[in-house]
Structure 1
């Protein structure tokens, strides 16, 4: 109980402050933040969005009028007609009426000349080739085939035999019958015998001796390390561990389990109970303050709103806001009509400029519409009371 009383005295102000802050936050959100947010959304949707759309449309129209329409009109009604009718059409006419017939005539003349020259040169070349073939090529081919080829084969065989006798066979015999036997039986065989009979057994013995020494040293080292480890653990580590566990760890564990855990559990339970009791106290205090606020502030404000502000607001809505809104709507309609009229004037001016530059079909003058004269189907008689159309025969109709 003393712990709970102390905790209650400490927690009650904190809980009341917490409830006060929560109440102020909810009231601020309900009375200020939410209406301000709704008002901002309404201003954005009703005021800023139409104004932004209008400004964007006006900026687009001004940008087109300043930067697009003049260049489009210049290109469409000045550059294109001038280039088309001043350059392209004359060039096409010159190419079609002058250059094409001249080019075809020149091609026909050059083709005839080429064919005649080609036929003449071909005939002359065939005659010269026949004379050279029968007077020069045939005798030379017979001499090459009957005399030069056998003599060349014999000379080539003799040169190959002499080259082998002078440059190949002596060195092959020296390498095969002198160098190879001397090196094999004078150097390779003794070296291999010494390696196999002397060096290999000697190396095996040295390796076995080194392995035995290493194994003995390893066994001795493991024994020494085991003895040293056991000595250190037995004489130093075990007593130190026992002393630390007995003099330090055991008292700390007992203190934690027997003192700190019960105290912490009791303090936690005391805080829970005190928080609940402080909630009840805070709720009672809040109810009393709420009753005072309702009696001293809310009722007078409600009476002021219902008796003064509401009639004034209705009067402002009926005599100020609605006439201003109606005038704004009429002004917007007038502005839209002016913009449509300006667009139609610009279109008409563009049509007139184009018709003045390149010409175009004229428009019929307005007048009374023509009413066709009525006739009965399949006969030449007219409907009573209507003028008959002129007679047209089937032959003239086609």
Structure 2
């Protein structure tokens, strides 16, 4: 039994990993019922729009193909060449100037500034300013100690004067001022009581009587009149506003509402249906024109390939390649071998000529200046490596004969 067709119970069916998982289905809402107007204008509009859009789409696709070809064949290489030229003209000179001129000059100036400024200033600070500063600090500490002692003496004298002289005088003055303050306070209390009685009977009582029996009734009468006037004005304004409201509603709002409800809304719905159908027809026509343009482009590409590309390819494979191989095998390779042989012979001849010239120059120098002086061997006190010092040899001063 085929297990893939009839799996056992309790076992899962085999899963082919190469198969693509099914995309989740999107639940679509049921479309609303279309009216007879949309169905009536859909097909003619789509036909007219398709006839108008097909040339535009084919022209657009031709422009896209032309733009891609120009980008790949002209603009991209031109941009790379301009980029390389810009680097060669602007970037590399400045990099070389920075690397080989500015940086060495800056390092040289830094070293020169270090030698001419930093080192002398450090020496001046260490050898001149630091001892002078220490001397000034010692002098200031001495002057400060003397001033502190003088200040302590003056402070002690002032403390004695304050304790023995100023304090008793201050106590006496304070006692006198306290007595004067008590007398003046008693006098002020009496004067305040008299002034308060006079102010009460001369100012407060007449003012209260004037406010209670004259100003308050007059104010109440003025407020009542103001309220009545405000009520009258508000009633008049309300009546005029209601009248203007009904006039504007009858003359403006109701005609505008009727125009919107019975004219603009149906016309807008018709225009919306026409615009929606026109947009859908334009999109559908654009997609159909794309398929038509793709088919025409493939047909033209196939025709161009069979007319130009395939003959050129056949000529290259069947004619030019064998001819090129024959030319390479019969002419180019022998010519290259001959050129390499000539190059080797030329290099050998030049090497022999250089050796002859070197030998002749050495002979001429030997003839003019003689043989060069040979180095004289120096007597070594230590034995060589093979003749090592032993106890039985006479290589030391004590065991020599």
| TM tier relative to shorter chain | 0.3 to 0.5
Give the TM-score, by structure 2 length.
0.44
